[in-house]
Amino acid sequence: MSEGILFELQFFFRAFLWGVFMMILYDLIRIFRRLIRHGTIAIAVEDILYWLVCGVLIFRMLYLENSGAIRGFAIAAVVLGMLLYLQFTKLLNKLRKKLHSSVKRFILYLKSS
């Protein structure tokens, strides 16, 4: 494998991880919102700040790793990382709900016996 292709794959993977990181950061914001109630304006301000920070982070990544050139596959990798993280968390949530319901049924069965 040539050195150029290896660099491109590494760059794609790092961009993918940035997408995952961005979604983890947004999940933390959502947890914060559940702990402390927010109004519509506060949510809008938080979202704007979130996207500004993400934009700066992605620009920084592109600048440092790719001489500032915006590459379509890098943006696609970030979006792919975000989407796969969302799908993974949805799957985990479904599994958690099934496990919870199974344990609940088992406990109710033990109580009725």
Tens of pLDDT, residue by residue over 6-34, are 888 999 999 999 999 999 999 999 999 99
Beta-carbon count within 10 A of 102 CB? 10
Q: What is the pLDDT of residues 50-90, one digit of tens each?
A: 999 999 999 998 888 887 777 888 999 999 999 999 999 99
Residue 107 to residue 100: CA distance in whole angstroms: 11
Secondary structure letter of residue 67 according to DSSP? T
